[in-house]
Structure 1
Amino acid sequence: MFTDYRAYWNFSHRVRNSNRYALDEASLEFLRIFRESVHQREETIRGGTNLVRAVRDYEEIYGEYGEVTNITGASEDRILPKRQFAYEGRVNPSGVVTLYLASSQTTAVSEVRPWVGETISIAWVSIVRDLRIVNLSIGHDKNLLSELTLGELTGETPIPKEKANRCVWNDIDNAFSTPTTRTDTGAEYAPTQILAEAVKCEGFDGLVYKSSFGGEHGYNVALFNVDDAKVEWCNAFSIDDIEISFSQAGNPWSKRTT
């Protein structure tokens, strides 16, 4: 059990800015607790469960004279990633194959960040056997820091262990769920990649975490073994529209003229 509500924040800061490949004692202790506790979040994805995958690719069908006569979904080799398509992500470093799936078409499409007018492929993927996974989405999106009193935040009053532990696990889920940006670097991915490898070392087949897309029922599933899934069908789709929602993130400035 984590007893310091800042445990994940401190671990993430050290991994991103200090020791990443030869972890210091504090980071190793964090991982020890994580690996012991993660079994409490074990769940099963039953064989035959259908999930969704989207890729920014599709196949063109050519006519007799080389003209494009039709399009269809990307090939199975593209839907189930190979090493050359193992780009860096929240769960895997570059070159390590991980199969990212989603609970719905909306979530799957949103996660690949397509442009309006772009043609992508959406595939339904079937799980071929019962899988042991870690569910990191428990308690997602709860502002647990709001439960802390002023005395607890300032250190004047001890924080109950159960409350501190919930704060840490909420931070872990949020770290996996936070949308990536084009400016994210390997340093930003490193903390969650290390945790994912720890989950793999504990013998699990993958993990589930809440998506920032797809509403209440939007979840991502990351599988460590591509062979645990098979493509049932795939088709090409055109992106018709993208909704944009935004809020002010900082202080405004203005240039006044005289």
Structure 2
Amino acid sequence: MEFCEECLKNEFIKESIAVQSEKIGDCNICGSDNVRIIDIGHLHELLTPILDLYIVNPDGKKIIELLRDDWLLFKNIDNDRLLELLRNAKYGDNNLEWNYVPLVEQQDVLDWSSFKKELKHNNRFFPKSFPNHDELASLMSYLSFVIEARNQTFYRARIIKSGDEIYAPENMGAPPPELASHGRANPFGISYLYVASTENTAVSEVRPHNGERLAIARFNNLNSLKLVDLRNPRQTLVPFRYSEDSLKNIYKGLALLETLGVELTKPVSQDKAPLEYLSSQYLCEFIKSQQYDGVIYKSSLGDSDNYAIFNESHLECHEVIKVKVSETKITHVAC
């Protein structure tokens, strides 16, 4: 039996088939015509390291649920097609009917909660409950990616406080250390450059009022940037890329990685910020100690992403424009 590059709507599998198959034909599984097809054994090879993470247990979940919940795989594929592919990939009806649980336990996110509490109220500089350094460094390496030099534009906004004079490019970077207040990623007195991936997100981050005038700086990265991506670890970590041993380590730390991403994203009121930011600051200082240039995380105010760049000299401001805020929107939910 053969399946095609369109069957599972997964970019990694599509690219893998493109590399390993030279056969073009019609797919009997999804009905696609004139597509690249490959023997179903290829799917077996891709899935086996993932499925070997689980063992049969009546209190567990079906294989399909685990693939979707733990690894965000095949969420847009209907059950009938996925079941047909798995049956023919040597997993059989019995294997698909049984329930499974993971072989390894995920690191308890309560460990992170204990660390936050210790950092805020007991031990500011030498916390004993911080996750194991080697294990955390290993997890960060899976989320590492590089933006090549001059390959992306970044944005930073500042409110123009008086008059109409726009800020000069040299005044749109990070504040000097003596003026650096505590931030989501930086400790007090340590200056990071916060930038966004879009103009709208950069504007949202300064919380302007209607009618206010802002300066928006556009930056390019002079050097390649090695960053840690904390936006969506389950989506970023494509399990087909890793060996079984690596997958065990990744699975163990998945819940913790998601928690770290939330730490950098969640809204924090200004009166609580000095304490609430301590854990995310500690995390970013640890990431910096591992020779990364910064982190990327979701914006809690805008519709895109934010970057905390540890050394502002990696970016160069090449343009500053002036804009006027025409509309702000605020919504609310019960809490």
Query: TM over 0.5: same fold?
Result: yes
Larger RCO of the pair (alpha carbons < 8 Å, separation 6+): 1
Contact 1:98–1:222 (CA<8 Å) still a contact in 2? yes
Q: Which has the higher helix share?
A: 2
Q: Distance in 1 between matches of 2:208 and 2:263?
A: 22
Q: 1:4 aligns with which of 101, 108, 117?
A: 108
Contact 2:107–2:255 (CA<8 Å) still a contact in 1? no
Letter in structure 2 aligned against 1:44? V
Normalised to the residue count of structure 1, the TM-score between the two structures is: 0.76
Shift in CA distance, 245/164, structure 1 to aligned 2, threshold 3 Å? farther
Q: Distance in 2 between matches of 1:124 and 1:161?
A: 39
Shift in CA distance, 140/248, structure 1 to aligned 2, threshold 3 Å? farther
3-state SS of 2:208 partner:
coil
The reply to whether residue 50 of structure 1 matches residue 153 of structure 2 is yes
Structure 2 runs not aligned, ≥5 long = 1-104, 236-247
Normalised to the residue count of structure 2, the TM-score between the two structures is: 0.60
1:80-114 Cα deviation digits (max 9, x unpaired):
12224422101111211100010111111111111
Q: 1:80 aligns with which of 173, 177, 185?
A: 173
Q: Distance in 1 between matches of 2:284 and 2:198?
A: 22
Considering only aligned residues, what root-mean-square deviation do their CA atoms show, in Å? 2.3
Shift in CA distance, 113/180, structure 1 to aligned 2, threshold 3 Å? farther
3-state SS of 1:207 partner:
strand
**Identity percentage of aligned residues:** 24
**Aligned length, in residue pairs:** 217
Structure 1 runs not aligned, ≥5 long = 61-70, 142-159, 250-258
How far off is 1:244 after superposition? 0.8
The reply to whether residue 15 of structure 1 matches residue 119 of structure 2 is yes
The reply to whether residue 36 of structure 1 matches residue 138 of structure 2 is yes
In the alignment, which residue of structure 2 is the partner of 1:231?
317
Shift in CA distance, 84/59, structure 1 to aligned 2, threshold 3 Å? farther
Shift in CA distance, 161/47, structure 1 to aligned 2, threshold 3 Å? closer
Q: Distance in 1 between matches of 2:233 and 2:219?
A: 27
Q: Distance in 2 between matches of 1:236 and 1:180?
A: 28
How far off is 1:55 after superposition? 1.4
Higher Cα Rg: structure 1 or 2?
Answer: 2
3-state SS of 1:55 partner:
strand
Contact 1:99–1:224 (CA<8 Å) still a contact in 2? yes
Contact 2:169–2:318 (CA<8 Å) still a contact in 1? no
Contact 1:106–1:213 (CA<8 Å) still a contact in 2? no
3-state SS of 1:186 partner:
helix
Q: Distance in 2 between matches of 1:162 and 1:42?
A: 13
3-state SS of 2:277 partner:
helix
In the alignment, which residue of structure 1 is the partner of 2:225?
131
3-state SS of 1:174 partner:
helix
Aligned positions of 1:245-256 closer than 5 A: 245-249=331-335
1:171-217 Cα deviation digits (max 9, x unpaired):
110110012322123211110111101111000111111112333xx
